[in-house]
């Protein structure tokens, strides 16, 4: 027994590391004795990051009724597909070597054109707001080409904040119009501001109250008779897929949020994609490249007569395209069913909750609706922000709050199509429970959340004196 150990040269005898450990070729000035990084084993590192991720809330953990954001289920198979080797191409790959990827983009363009009803499209913009800016640049260049000096863009008071911001960035003046008692655009208010200076109206339909603009055809007629264009903010497309489309409603420029309607994940700032589709007469103004197909080859077409230029480099956010395309193919005709269920689920929640919270616009809703916490604030001294935090104790992500701005103490709820009736009933129960606690024991709600890793924070101090440095 002893000899087998004696005979062994031990680990020193294994002569594998010599070549690697010869570092004499590295200049001395580049060598470090200490690197100042924590010395940790793989297990410790894994546990650290897993622990951090466990602190996060995500759709895998619970309900996420974040109005306007469409936090629908993003099929896991999409991740698998977008990670396929052939899709991980170098940004500088030539068209010849990227035929498969270009084909996917081309097919996605066509699918989105069919769904929106529009005539031409760019996949370039990497977010909804980026799409808005692209669309407004197209509108600006269109009027410049006609040598018409139109300086104003009309935007309803219920609009998402990015709408006026995008129009302003493109040099337009914003004219805000008030919504009527039904939460829709007031036609008289629109007529009152419509003049030769108006380039366009930016509309969201259904709007951010979750209400369908019934007068959209009339609005389109008025705008077009005035020589103006209509921009469609398609962030709420989840409500209408397959039922109608922006072309039929009379819009000229449209953006859609792939990361909302077409099941690609978002949050934390991206990546997203906000393709912009236009009617025939605006086709030549699209940003380049657009993906075209000729003589058996897909290619990036940079040759548009009046293009506004390029708004994104290389292939755009390509992995988002793969996921959206996979979703569209998987759903097929069921896209329509997704919208139907999204609308059904929202109306179900609205009807069940309106006895407990104010509902300022009591209309049939589309895929989302907006409650108000005014009653709780007035009667119990509990604000919408407290109700939102109380929901965190129910393993639910808070809804969108304080938006749209025209609803005081707004609580904007979008269940999406992908939740079960059991989950919706559970949420209804939680909201009723919170309303009861507001009445009976408001302090519990005011002190919420109680169960999250970080409890009530001092938001005022955090906003006024942000501490942005990392401390170990
Ligand atoms: C999300 C949203 C936008 C902006 O989209 P991003 O992709 O976040 O830039 C614009 N309008 C509405 C109504 C939205 O919900």
CA of 162 to the centre of ligand 1 (A): 7
pTM: 0.91
Cα separation, 110 vs 292, in Å, equals 11
Rounded alpha-carbon distances, angstroms, from residue 376 to 325, 437, 440: 44, 10, 11
Span 317-337, pLDDT tens digits: 999 999 999 999 999 999 999
Q: What is the mean pLDDT of residues 428-442?
A: 98
* CB 162 less than 6 A from any atom of ligand 1: yes
What percentage of residues in the chain have a pLDDT greater than 70? Answer: 95
CA of 124 to the centre of ligand 1 (A): 16
pLDDT of residue 454: 87
Q: Hey, whose CA ends up nearest to atom 15 of ligand 1?
A: 68
CA of 128 to the centre of ligand 1 (A): 5
Span 379-421, pLDDT tens digits: 999 999 999 999 999 999 999 999 999 999 999 999 999 999 9
- Ligand 1 nearest-atom number relative to CA 130: 9
Token duo for residue 229: 């264009």
CA of 203 to the centre of ligand 1 (A): 12
Q: Cβ neighbours of residue 60 under 8 Å, at least 6 residues apart?
A: none
Span 28-61, pLDDT tens digits: 888 888 878 888 999 999 999 999 999 989 888 9
* CB 274 less than 6 A from any atom of ligand 1: yes
pLDDT of residue 25: 86
* CB 205 less than 6 A from any atom of ligand 1: no
Q: Hey, whose CA ends up nearest to atom 3 of ligand 1?
A: 128
In the structure, what pLDDT confidence band is assigned to residue 112 with cuts at 50, 70 and 90? very high
In SS3 terms, the chain reads as: CHHHHHHCCCHHHCCCCHHHHCCCCCCHHHCCCCCCCCCCCHHHHHHHHHHHHHHCCCCCCCECCECCCCCCCCCHHHHHHHCCHHHCCCCCCCCHHHHHHHHHHHHHHHHHHHHHCCCEEECCCCCHHHHHHHHHHHHHHHHHHCCCCCCEEEEECCCCCHHHHHHHHCCCEEEEECECCCCCECHHHHHHHCCCCEEEEEEECCCCCCCCCCCHHHHHHHHHHCCCEEEEEECCHHHCCCCCCHHHHCCCEEEECHHHHCCCCCCCCCCCCCCEEECHHHHHHCCCCEEEEECCEEEEECCCCCCCCCCCCCCCCHHHHHHHHHHHHHHCCHHHHHHHHHHHHHHHHHHHHCCCCECCCCCCCCCCEEEECHHHHHHHCCCHHHHHHHHHCCCECCCEECCCCCCCCEEEECCCCCCCHHHHHHHHHHHHHHHHHHHHCHHHHHCCCCCCCCCCCCHHHHHHCCCCCCCC
**Phi/psi at 443 (5° precision):** -60, -35
Cα separation, 130 vs 124, in Å, equals 9
pLDDT of residue 8: 67
pLDDT of residue 36: 80
pLDDT of 70 over the 80 cut:
yes
Cα separation, 407 vs 410, in Å, equals 5
In the structure, what pLDDT confidence band is assigned to residue 4 with cuts at 50, 70 and 90? confident
In the structure, what pLDDT confidence band is assigned to residue 345 with cuts at 50, 70 and 90? very high
CA of 205 to the centre of ligand 1 (A): 13
Span 299-311, pLDDT tens digits: 999 999 999 999 9
Cα separation, 150 vs 139, in Å, equals 10
pLDDT of residue 468: 82
Cα separation, 415 vs 349, in Å, equals 8
Q: What is the mean pLDDT of residues 58-72?
A: 94
From 125, 126, 162, 207, mutation site for ligand 1 pocket: most ligand atoms within 8 A of C-beta: 162
Strands 276-278 and 290-294: unpaired
Domains and CATH numbers, the chain: 76-333 (3.40.640.10), 339-464 (3.90.1150.10)
* CB 68 less than 6 A from any atom of ligand 1: yes
In terms of Cα–Cα distance, which of 383, 310, 385 is closest to 123?
310
The whole-chain average pLDDT of the chain stands at 94
Rounded alpha-carbon distances, angstroms, from residue 4 to 11, 91, 129: 14, 57, 72
């Amino acid at each position: 027994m002893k000899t087998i150990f004696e005979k062994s040269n031990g680990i020193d005898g294994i002569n594998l590391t010599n070549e690697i450990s010869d570092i004499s070729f590295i200049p001395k000035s580049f060598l470090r004795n200490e690197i100042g990084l924590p010395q940790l084993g793989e297990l410790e590192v894994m546990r650290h990051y897993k622990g951090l991720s466990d602190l996060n809330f995500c759709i895998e953990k619970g309900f996420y009724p974040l109005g306007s954001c469409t936090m629908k289920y993003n099929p896991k198979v999409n991740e698998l597909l977008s990670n396929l080797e052939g899709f991980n191409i170098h940004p500088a790959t030539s068209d010849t070597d990227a035929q498969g990827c270009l084909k996917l983009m081309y097919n996605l363009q066509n699918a989105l054109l069919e769904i929106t009803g529009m005539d031409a499209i760019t996949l370039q913009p990497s977010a909804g707001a980026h799409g808005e800016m692209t669309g407004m640049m197209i509108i600006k260049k269109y009027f410049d080409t006609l040598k018409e000096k139109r300086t104003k863009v009309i935007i309803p008071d219920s609009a998402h904040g990015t709408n006026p911001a995008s129009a302003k960035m493109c040099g337009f003046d914003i004219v805000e119009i008030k919504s009527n008692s039904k939460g829709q655009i007031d036609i008289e208010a629109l007529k009152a501001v419509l003049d030769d200076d108006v380039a366009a109206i930016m509309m969201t339909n259904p709007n951010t109250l979750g209400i369908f603009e019934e007068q959209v055809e009339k609005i389109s007629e008025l705008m077009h008779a005035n020589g103006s264009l209509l921009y469609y903010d398609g962030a709420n497309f989840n409500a209408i897929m397959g039922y109608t489309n922006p072309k039929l409603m009379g819009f000229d420029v449209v953006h859609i949020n792939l990361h909302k309607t077409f099941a690609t994940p978002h949050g934390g700032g991206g990546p997203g994609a906000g393709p912009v589709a236009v009617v025939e007469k605006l086709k030549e103004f699209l940003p380049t490249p657009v993906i075209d197909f000729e003589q058996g080859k897909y290619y990036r077409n940079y040759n548009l007569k009046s293009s506004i230029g390029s708004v994104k480099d290389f292939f755009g956010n390509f992995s988002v395209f793969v996921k959206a395309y996979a979703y569209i193919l998987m759903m097929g005709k069921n896209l329509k069913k997704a919208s139907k269920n999204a609308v059904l689920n929202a109306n179900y929640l609205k009807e069940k909750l309106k006895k407990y919270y104010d509902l300022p616009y009591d209309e049939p809703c589309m895929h989302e609706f907006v409650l108000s916490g005014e009653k709780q604030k007035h009667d119990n001294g509990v604000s919408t922000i407290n109700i939102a935090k109380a929901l965190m104790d129910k393993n639910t992500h808070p809804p969108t709050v304080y938006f749209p701005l025209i609803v005081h103490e707004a609580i904007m709820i979008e269940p999406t199509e992908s939740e079960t009736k059991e989950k919706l009933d559970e949420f209804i129960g939680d909201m009723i429970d919170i309303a009861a606690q507001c009445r009976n024991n408001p302090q519990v709600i005011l002190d919420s959340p109680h169960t999250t890793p970080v409890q009530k924070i001092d938001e005022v101090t955090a906003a006024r004196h942000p501490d942005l440095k990392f401390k170990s």
